[in-house]
Amino acid sequence: MQVRKAVIPVAGLGTRFLPASKAIPKEMLTIVDRPTIQYIVEEVVASGIDQIILVTSEGKSAIENHFDYNFELDTILKEKNKMDLCEQVCNVANLIDIVSVRQKKPLGLGHAIWTTRNVIGNEPFLVLLGDDLVQSKVPCCQQMLNLYGEVHESIVAIQHVPKNETHQYGVVEGTALRDRVYQVERLIEKPPPGTTDSDMAIIGRYLLKPDIFELLEKTTPGHGGEIQLTDALLALAKRRPMYAYEFEGTRYDAGDKLGYLKAIIAFALQHPVLATEFRRHIKEVAADL
């Protein structure tokens, strides 16, 4: 069955980004000239998906507004004959069909995904975390869809990380099938140091079969008292094949202060208008370090 829908959970508290995320959703913090969430929506659009399901919570309405039509702004920009800006603003609203569901309590990523069960129904779907950016030639989601076209089973995107960092991630243990593709054998959420030999960390891109909902329903709170997606994924991997895919590109955790700064530099260096001047500036700054 074709993958038509993508879930983007943005209902988390964003505690790692306080105080910036106190009144502004961290997903709305700017990377060069767009909020983080817009890059993620653009990745979905570039991968040919029809619909996005945002999982939101109280205080996240700025995200919904960003992708909505703003009549007042549109009228003022037209009156001032700022047609370029007017077009850019309208384009954001026209990117893709977006619906929202509300996660009433921040009970974890697994719970956030579970809240979309009635909108997704019985079809495979993508999940993109609202603060995880991937810079790549082929959109990361498109790479995963290409693999799904072969395997028709769930896929988690992974990257190899230094062994002393695995405790910060969901980690996959598995067997290499070919370049970049692994059969998943075990998944562990934030394994304590020394408890796994694997360096394959799950990043914020998943392609899931709808069986996950039934398993999420049965998942009891795990690490941090939250309903962990990783625990339900492990149950799914025991039931049917699951694949880990080492995507081509670079991932930035824009929900973390340092990751956010790295993302700004990476995206600014690719910006069609600003890149040349910014590169010169970075070189000057680096020379003084």
**Residues within the interface to ligand UTP (CB under 6 A):** 9-17, 55, 103, 106-109, 111-112, 129-131, 255
- Residue 245 CB, shortest distance to ligand UTP, in Å, is 19
Q: Which is nearer to ligand UTP, 115 or 154 (CB)?
A: 115
- Residue 183 CB, shortest distance to ligand UTP, in Å, is 26
Q: Which is nearer to ligand UTP, 105 or 218 (CB)?
A: 105
Q: Which is nearer to ligand UTP, 210 or 221 (CB)?
A: 221
**Which token pair is 213?**
């909902």
Q: Which is nearer to ligand UTP, 111 or 209 (CB)?
A: 111
CB 126 within 8 A of CB 141: yes
Strand extents, DSSP E, the chain: 5-9, 30-31, 34-35, 51-56, 97-102, 125-128, 132-135, 154-160, 170-178, 181-189, 200-208, 242-246, 250-253
What's the rounded Cα separation, in Å, for the pair 233 and 251? 21
Q: Which is nearer to ligand UTP, 11 or 215 (CB)?
A: 11
| Measured CA angle at 100 (ends 145, 2), to 5 deg | 25
- Residue 80 CB, shortest distance to ligand UTP, in Å, is 36
- Residue 128 CB, shortest distance to ligand UTP, in Å, is 9
- Residue 278 CB, shortest distance to ligand UTP, in Å, is 27
Report the run of H or E that residue 201 belongs to, with start and end.
strand 200-208
**Cβ neighbour number for residue 163 with a 10 Å cutoff:** 13
What's the rounded Cα separation, in Å, for the pair 80 and 93? 20
**Which token pair is 90?**
């309208």
Strands 5-9 and 51-56 turn out to be parallel
Q: Which is nearer to ligand UTP, 112 or 157 (CB)?
A: 112
Q: Which is nearer to ligand UTP, 124 or 204 (CB)?
A: 204
Q: Which neighbouring-strand residues pair with 134?
A: 251
Report the run of H or E that residue 7 belongs to, with start and end.
strand 5-9
- Residue 131 CB, shortest distance to ligand UTP, in Å, is 5
Q: Residue 94: is it exposed, middle or buried by C-beta count within 10 angstroms (0-12/13-18/19+)?
A: exposed
Q: Which is nearer to ligand UTP, 76 or 261 (CB)?
A: 261
Q: Output the residue with the shortest Cβ distance to ligand UTP.
A: 12
CB 43 within 8 A of CB 80: no
Q: Which neighbouring-strand residues pair with 155?
A: 207, 243
- Residue 256 CB, shortest distance to ligand UTP, in Å, is 8
- Residue 271 CB, shortest distance to ligand UTP, in Å, is 24
Helix (H, G, I), strand (E, B) or coil at 97: strand
